[in-house]
Amino acid sequence: MALLPAEIIESKTRQTASLIFLHGLGDNGYVFWLICFNNLPSSSGWADSLRNVVPPYCKIVCPNARDIPVTINMGMVMPAWYDLYNLGIGAKQDEPGILEATKEVAKWVAAEKTAGISSDRIVVGGFSQGGSIAFYYGMTNVEQKLGGIVALSCWLPLHEKFVSNSSVATANRSMPILQCHGKMDPIVPHELGALTNSILGKLGFTNCSFSSYQGMGHYTCDSPPADELLFLYLDHFTAQEMTDVKAFLSTCLPPVNE
């Protein structure tokens, strides 16, 4: 079972939980750009950004997507979980690519289980396109109960399948789900995140939280930098978003009694 390359930060204490977190379009788990242009430590990137929000017994795994041509970006080759044609509601979707990316997540979950971490101690999350895959995996994972889903600035892809066949999404209806979305997001509109939350409710998911952030766009930094190029690469949480994610992970991945 070949796994995609990943940036990994081991737990500070004995590992009893895992967070598998997927980056967004054109990004990766490491973000070399941050090191070159911002003089940050070599461990910077999504993996390092998450270091301070996970419990000390939680391992962080940030897989790197393959480079593929992306239609919405004029066919440019970049890291992506699947092809994107448009980001509007009702847009054409790359179903084969979504299904393939979901299989990659399943491999990492299986690897963590093989290492001794039960599935209910594994949270799957992601930002933007990565968050959409985390969502889809959680909704279609019928074999095991997950610890939860963290979905940042994203949407549920292929949601029509769940509406027409709600039995697909029965396995994890009680799992904790945290959605975070900026109200000023120009890339993945806030209403798309709200629509996803509404769909989850209609499907019977009972443990969902949808947090909106006034003034936040499609990024996770304290405030939008003046340089538009810069904010596309900044992966630091807003203070409130960090607090929300940290509290969520502490709740759904509590300490294990020795």
Catalytic residue among 128, 181, 235, 244: 128
In sign, the C-alpha dihedral spanning 223, 152, 250, 110 is: negative
- Expressed in angstroms, the distance from the first to the final Cα of the chain is 32
Catalytic residue among 23, 27, 218, 244: 218
Reduce the DSSP state of residue 37 to 3 states and report it: helix
- Sheet containing strand 17-22, edge to edge, reads 6-9, 58-63, 17-22, 122-127, 148-152, 177-182, 208-213
Helix (H) or strand (E) holding 198: helix 190-202
Quote the CA–CA distance of 124 and 248 in Å, as a whole number.
Answer: 12
Tokens linked to 23: 């980056």
Closest CA to 252 of 152, 148, 150: 148
Concerning whether 223 is annotated as a catalytic residue, the answer is no
Contact 157, 132 (CB under 8 A): yes
Concerning whether 128 is annotated as a catalytic residue, the answer is yes
What are the strands, taking DSSP E only, across 71-214?
76-79, 122-127, 148-152, 177-182, 208-213
Concerning whether 48 is annotated as a catalytic residue, the answer is no
Catalytic residue among 48, 83, 185, 235: 185
Quote the CA–CA distance of 153 and 151 in Å, as a whole number.
Answer: 7
In sign, the C-alpha dihedral spanning 130, 136, 142, 146 is: positive
What residues are annotated to the active site?
128, 185, 218
